[in-house]
Structure 1
Amino acid sequence: MRWIYRIGIFFARLLLLLVGPFIPKVGHFSSGRKDLFQKIEEFKSKNSGTLAWFHVASLGEYEQARPVIAELKNVRPDQLIAVSFFSPSGYDHVIKKPQANVDFITYLPIDSKKQAEKFVDLLSPDIVFFVKYDLWHHHIMAVKSRKIPLFLFSAAFRSDQIYFKKDGFFRAILFQFDFIFTQNESTLDLLKSIDFQQASIAGDTRFDRVAETAKNFKEFPELAKWVGEKPTVVAGSVWQEDMDLLIPLINAKPGYRWIIAPHDLSPDPMNRWSKQLSPSSSRYSQWDSDISPDVIFIDNIGMLSSLYQFAKVAYVGGAFGKGLHNILEPMGFGIPVIFGKLEKTAKFPEAAESQRNGCGFEVSDTESLKLVFEKLERPDFYQQSAESAKNWVQKNIGAAEKIISKVEKIVSRA
């Protein structure tokens, strides 16, 4: 299997080179990794000291890493922090501005043995963390062969994943980790079923992140004035399928303010949706604050997590398409959340958990959305749901501290 994997990686690299000039996204994936090793050498030449390397797949996993990075910096103030991304979308987002507690941001090279070993040698980390998944064999083996402490946190596995179907090459990857911190009990049970014992439940580090965001949100005075005393719905990371449900609701509910943050920021969908709305609307970049439309489309990146401060109710998009966006962000503000019906519920365990806690509500069509929304308009039902959101977040805070506390004990014994 090891040779099959290496051959597969070889042909993947070849395919990237061949199709890159014709497919912009593929080309960007490859061009972003140009001079990768040179950039690491430049960083290392200017920065001495111990270094912790965190690998994330994309932006969502980076958000899970941030509380752990902050806690590690709290315990080890002089620790250098490097973060690697596999996905260009995650890398492109965070590289635009300095990131708190992060000293270096890089792409992960394609997982060939030669490149992985060069990457680890140049970066020379003293401790390594992988986040949730995106477990690359050669990079993990390069770390392990150099006897560098290796941890996985926010792990959320499913029984249909290859690690649990049969013993062998892929399962062996898990056994390279010194310790695995899981998000939930079902993942811990899966690890125990393959006799992996060095694991414990730490919880989802996103709870730490959303609680911190809710405490230190960005202020938007012009939006606060626009919202005033009117009940407001914030719809985050919505796709066409989400708007197909939301537009009839918006048209049927005068008296509300609506903040819509599309996943796709191109103007065409927003212009199309605006024409289907009965209430007046404006794109945020074109909004004259002296005018008071009922709907504002947010056409930039970086605002959404703080916009939930204005919400009475949140709708979080993506369930009908690429994947449910972060429902924990609005719940950090104690806001009940509505989201679409998921096909693969195991990928988003927080969705089912939010429903069990009475603060998350799944809808499948315009009628079910209307029924849930009208329930949340009842003061008693709303109050109970909002309290449930607050309580759920509160009882799950502290994962980052648990992780770093355990890591420090393990490393000190080594």
Structure 2
Amino acid sequence: MRILYNLGMILLDRLMKIGSKRSAKLKLAINGRKNTFEAVKSFKKASPSPLVWFHVASLGEYLQAKPVIAAFKKEYPLWGVAVSFFSPSGYEQAIKKKQDWVDFMCYLPIDTPTNANRFVDLLSPDMVFFVKYDLWANTILAIKKRKIPLYLVAASFRKEQVYFSWYGKFFKDILLCFDHIFVQNQVSKKLLDELGVRKVSITGDPRFDNVYKTSLSPKLFPEIQQQLVQKVMVLGSVWQEDMNNLIPFINQSKDIQFIIAPHDIDNEIIENWQKAITLPSVKYSEFKNQEQPQAWKVLVIDNIGMLSSLYQFAHWAYIGGAIGKGLHNILEPLAFGIPVLYGPLKKVSKFPEAGISEEYGCGFPVKDESEIKSVIVKLSEEKDYEKACKAAKKLVGDNLGSADNTMAIIKKER
């Protein structure tokens, strides 16, 4: 299996290079990795202090890592912090501004044995954290070989994953390399117990800590707030599949203002949405530069980085992705104490927070425009709305403290 895995990494590298000729995202991934080793060398030369390294797949996993990074720095303030990303959607967003506590960021090289050993030797970390699921076998084996303390945090496992299949021994052995695995829920712990992985603790999802912090001090957008004259519904990280259901609902909702944040900023797609929407709409880039901003019913956010704070204006939220590639972050609006709608999930076990939100009474799956309308009508009743808002606040409050609990266990074991 290891031979097949290594061949797969070589194939992945070649396919990404071929794909980069047509895909802007893949081009960023390829070009971003060209100088990784030199960047690591320069960083290490200038930073001799002890180093902790966090690896994340993309932006969502980085948001899970941030509370753990903050908790780590609280315990070990003199350590440096390095963060590696696999996906451009994480790295390219994070690199735009200085990140709290983080001293160095880079792309993780493609996981061939040569790349893995070279990267680990150059970075020479004193402790390593992988976040959630982005587990690269050769890199993990290189870390284990050098006896560097290795942890997996915010992990969430499902029965259908390769680790639990009849052919999954190679990947099971990768899990056994970790000194301690911190999981989000009891289901994950039980699955690991059945594999014989013993160093496992349930510490929850650090995203709750992160979204709660954001809700306490969101970015201010007075130019938006001044234009709000009705109840607002924020449509976050939406795709075309979501908008197929949402546009008919928008067009018949005369008493609601909508803020739409597309998952991908594509001017052609946004313009097509605006043409299909019959209510007055404007792009944020145009709106914010107007001396006398025009009144709008629909505001389309055509940039990255605002969404997590826009929920402060929302009475309800709809989070996209469930109909397509996967549900995006429903915890951000829940942290503001508002009910959340989302599309029908193909794999409920892959997004446990959705199931939990339904159990609490603040999450509502909707399969089409009529169900969206039905839920909003129900949540327009004061009694039902207040009940859902209280449930959202309780859900988030019940799940705070993951990062501190994780670090408490690590400190005890060291």
Fold match (TM-score > 0.5): yes
2: CA distance between counterparts of 1:159 and 1:151? 21
Q: In the alignment, what sits opposite 1:162?
A: 162
| CA deviation map 1:181-205 (0-9, x unaligned) | 0011100110011111100110011
Deviation at 1:322, TM superposition (A): 1.7
Instruction: Look up the match of 2:208.
Output: 207
Write the deviation string for residues 36-82 of structure 1: whole angstroms up to 9, x where unpaired: 11000111111120110000011110010000001111111111000
1:404 shift after superposition: 0.7
2:401 matched residue in structure 1: 398
Q: Any idea what SS the aligned residue of 1:32 has?
A: helix
Does 2:303 correspond to 1:322?
no
In structure 1, the residue matched to 2:29 is: 29
Q: How far does residue 216 in structure 1 lie from its aligned partner after superposition?
A: 1.3
2:217 maps to a residue whose letter is: N
Deviations 1:129-178 (A, max 9, x none): 00001111111111111111100011001101111113521110000000
Q: Which residue of 347, 364, 367 corresponds with 1:364?
A: 367
1:56 aligned residue? 56
After superposition, give the CA deviation of every residue in 1:287-340 in whole Å (9 maximum; x if it has no partner).
135321111101111000000000010111111112111000000000100000
Alpha-carbon distance in 1 for matches of 2:21, 2:271: 32
In structure 2, the CA distance between the partners of 1:356 and 1:104, relative to structure 1 (3 Å rule), is same
> Which sits farther off after the overlay, 237-246 or 175-184?
237-246
CA separation of 1:20 and 1:256: change in aligned 2, threshold 3 A = closer
Inter-partner Cα distance in structure 2 for 1:274 and 1:22: 27
Query: Hey, what does 1:242 align to over in structure 2?
Result: 242
* Partner residue, 1:198: 199
Counterpart position of 1:185: 186
* 1:16-95 matched pairs, under 5 angstroms: 16-21=16-21, 23-95=23-95
Give the distance between the partners of 2:293 and 2:24, measured in 1 at CA.
41
One-letter amino acid of the counterpart of residue 176, structure 1: C
The TM-score normalised by the length of structure 1 is 0.96
Which letter does structure 2 place at the counterpart of 1:300? N
Q: Equivalent residue for 2:128?
A: 128
Indicate the larger mover: 387-396 or 264-273.
264-273
Over the residues paired in the alignment, what is the CA RMSD in angstroms? Answer: 1.3
Question: CA separation in 1, counterparts of 2:275 and 2:26?
Answer: 34
Provide closer, same or farther for how the CA distance between residues 164 and 290 of structure 1 changes in structure 2, counting only shifts above 3 A: same
TM-score in terms of structure 2 length: 0.96
SS of the residue 2:171 aligns to: helix
Cα deviation for residue 112 of structure 1 reads 1.2
Query: Matched residues in 2 for 1:227 and 1:128: separation?
Result: 46
Give CA-to-partner distance per residue, 1:383-408, whole Å, 9 cap, x none: 00000000000010000000111111
Give the Å deviation of 1:20. 4.0
Q: Shift in Å at residue 17 of structure 1?
A: 4.2
One-letter amino acid of the structure 2 residue matched with residue 353 of structure 1 = I
1:337 aligns with 2:303: no
The gaps in structure 2 that reach 5 residues or longer are none
Alignment partners' CA distance in 1, 2:32 and 2:10 = 19
Q: Write the distance in 2 (CA, Å) between the matches of 1:144 and 1:398.
A: 29
Which residue type is aligned with residue 343 of structure 1? K
Write the letter of the residue equivalent to 1:221: P
Amino acid across the alignment from 1:279: L
